[in-house]
Amino acid sequence: MSTARSTALAGPRWTPTLVAERLAEAADVLDRLPEPKVRGFYSLLPLLPDGPAGDGARARPAAPAPEAIDRMDEALRWLGWLEPEERRLVWLRAEGMPWKWITRRLGIGRTTAWQRWTIALLKIATRLNAAAEQNRSDIKAVNRSRDPVLQTR
């Protein structure tokens, strides 16, 4: 089998750039979800005219598609594979925070922050590629172990 065909069978390979884009999409989708409201409670305070219509309501972007919410859930599960410090750094960057703000908040230098962010994205991409490799249909049953190498939590 040629290498071009074997990579086509394996599907798309995850790269740190693709992981970063998916996490940024997840942060955007999470921001566009409606705010939870408690039934039976409301405010009697008058709304201040801060919007263009003067009704005091904040203009919200359109609600995300159900497929986008599913991709967000999948991406948020990936964060569980990281250490808490890595998770915080990756999520701050996914939300679009500038490096200068992130470095001040975490108390590390820019180069160190970028290196840790890249390593965290590489961890996620490697784990995703390993899981995809285990699920390939063209691998002989002799080469498969009874238990997968990567267990899901």
Angle between helices 110-134 and 16-32 (to 10 degrees): 100
- Quote the pLDDT of residue 1: 41
- Quote the pLDDT of residue 11: 59
- Quote the pLDDT of residue 133: 81
Q: How far is CA 122 from the centre of its chain?
A: 13
C-alpha R_g of the chain: 21
pLDDT averages per 10-residue partition of the chain, 153 residues? 44 89 96 79 66 56 90 96 96 97 96 97 95 74 58 60
Q: For tokens 């285990």, name the residue.
A: 134
- Residue 153 near residue 80, CB atoms below 8 Å: yes
- Residue 128 near residue 14, CB atoms below 8 Å: yes
d(CA 62, CA 71): 17
Sign of CA dihedral 63, 89, 22, 150: negative
- Quote the pLDDT of residue 147: 62
- The pair of structure tokens assigned to 138 is 């063209």
| Model confidence, pTM | 0.72
